[in-house]
């Protein structure tokens, strides 16, 4: 069977926003004095982010989960437990997931009853019943819809979700797979001076994205041509994501961009079958500006090739698994010529590629 169609992408973000000024105030509240304000300001300047959507911020700018008041002062030294953070995840993930999914279904011209399979991805929270059943109930999906959830895979999980959807679609031309990614990263801000934790507080944001995969879609933005995976050698400790007593803890080695840069060209050339020179649009997951810089340098990409990735980073931050679909939607809006290549990286250190034609 030929490659399945990829429907229009629906996106959603929480209404709460945090600009760079407020982000610096929050970082100052969360970070011990062993890290100076000038260092925090420099990290913000280098982040490439002007604004992020943050679900746990109140309209007045306060963040009760972290004891931060509207005036930018931390009134409590208590650190939120993982249980409290999971309650915040549960309260905030479903509403934006439903909005993104409804947008994707509407854009594809499909009704809820047309969906035969539901694939969800999230790494920032756990609940059962979870987001998948909320989607079934609130969208009015069939009670017999086949559900699959990809949990804790990190920033590249959108590609894994699309690969699962493509496998389902290959079984029958009547299959319609709704793919939904949702992340509430803001429930895992840290209260210490570890540099990777400080950087995580500055980079990560919240959002959702969804699409439909199937053969013969009336409305399609392209074909899901192929996906490919790569484990970068000698990198198992370079990036991690672990459940701690006070939220999920990110491990992010400073060598991650270099590890990606060293392994990426050979993988794309020898394993994925991708002809870099033929790519009309690039969706590079912005783990940070340096990741984008490294990929562009090692693949000899023009500055214009990274514009969509940098713009999503600037206006949305790093929304983990959600981010890649937002970037692909930017390529569609810009009428970038296909094929499009999406690259994302996550714990392991692992890379995932999706090619859309």
Q: What amino acid positions are annotated as catalytic residues?
A: 155
DSSP letter (8 states) at residue 4: P
Helix count and strand count (H, E) for the chain: 10, 14
User: Are β-strands 281-284 and 340-346 bridged in parallel, bridged antiparallel, or unpaired?
Assistant: parallel
From residue 146, how far is each of 136, 177, 178, 213 by CA, in Å?
10, 9, 10, 14
User: What radius of gyration, in Å, describes the C-alpha atoms of the chain?
Assistant: 20
Residues 332, 209: Cα–Cα separation, whole Å: 14
Distances (CA, A) of 167 to 172, 176, 210: 10, 11, 17
- The secondary structure of residue 66, as a DSSP letter, is G
Query: What tokens appear for 310 in the block?
Result: 């940098």
Is-contact 160 135, C-beta < 8 A?
no
Return the structure tokens found at 346: 């996550």
Task: Give me 168's structure tokens.
Answer: 């389902």
Q: How far is CA 134 from the centre of its chain?
A: 20
DSSP state of 2: P
Q: Is the dihedral of CA 195, 54, 290, 159 positive or negative?
A: positive
Q: Is-contact 73 29, C-beta < 8 A?
A: yes
For 93, list phi and psi in degrees, rounded to 5: -75, -45
Sort strands 206-214 and 5-6 into parallel, antiparallel or unpaired.
Answer: antiparallel
Cα separation of 43 and 173, whole Å?
49
């Amino acid at each position: 069977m030929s490659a399945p169609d990829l429907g229009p992408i629906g996106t959603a973000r929480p209404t709460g926003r945090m600009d760079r000024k407020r982000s610096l105030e929050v970082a100052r509240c969360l970070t011990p004095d062993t890290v100076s304000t000038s260092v925090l300001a420099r990290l913000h300047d280098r982040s490439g982010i002007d604004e992020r959507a943050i679900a746990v911020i109140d309209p007045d700018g306060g963040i009760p989960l972290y004891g931060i008041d509207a005036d930018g002062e931390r009134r409590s030294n208590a650190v939120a437990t993982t249980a409290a953070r999971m309650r915040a995840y549960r309260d905030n993930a479903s509403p934006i997931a439903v909005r993104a999914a409804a947008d994707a279904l509407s854009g594809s011209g499909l009704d809820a009853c047309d969906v035969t399979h539901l694939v969800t991805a999230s790494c920032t929270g756990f609940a059962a019943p979870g987001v998948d059943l909320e989607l079934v109930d609130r969208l009015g999906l069939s009670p017999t819809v086949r559900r699959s959830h990809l949990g804790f895979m990190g920033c590249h999980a959108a590609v894994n979700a699309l690969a699962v959807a493509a496998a389902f679609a290959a079984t029958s031309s009547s299959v319609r797979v709704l793919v939904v990614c949702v992340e509430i990263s803001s429930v895992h801000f840290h209260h210490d001076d570890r540099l990777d934790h400080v950087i995580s507080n500055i980079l990560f944001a919240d959002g959702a994205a969804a699409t439909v995969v199937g053969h013969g879609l009336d409305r399609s933005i392209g074909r899901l041509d192929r996906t490919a995976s790569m484990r970068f050698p000698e990198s198992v400790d370079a990036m991690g994501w672990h459940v701690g007593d006070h939220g999920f803890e990110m491990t992010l080695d400073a060598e991650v961009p270099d590890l990606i840069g060293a392994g990426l060209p050979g993988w794309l050339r020898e394993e994925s079958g991708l002809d870099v020179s033929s790519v009309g649009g690039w969706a590079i997951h912005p783990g940070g500006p340096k990741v984008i810089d490294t990929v562009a340098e090692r693949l000899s990409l023009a500055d214009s090739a990274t514009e969509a990735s940098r713009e999503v980073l600037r206006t949305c931050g790093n929304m983990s698994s959600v981010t890649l679909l937002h970037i692909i939607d930017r390529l569609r809006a810009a009428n970038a010529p296909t094929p499009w290549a999406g690259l994302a990286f996550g714990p392991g250190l692992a890379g995932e590629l999706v090619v859309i034609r």
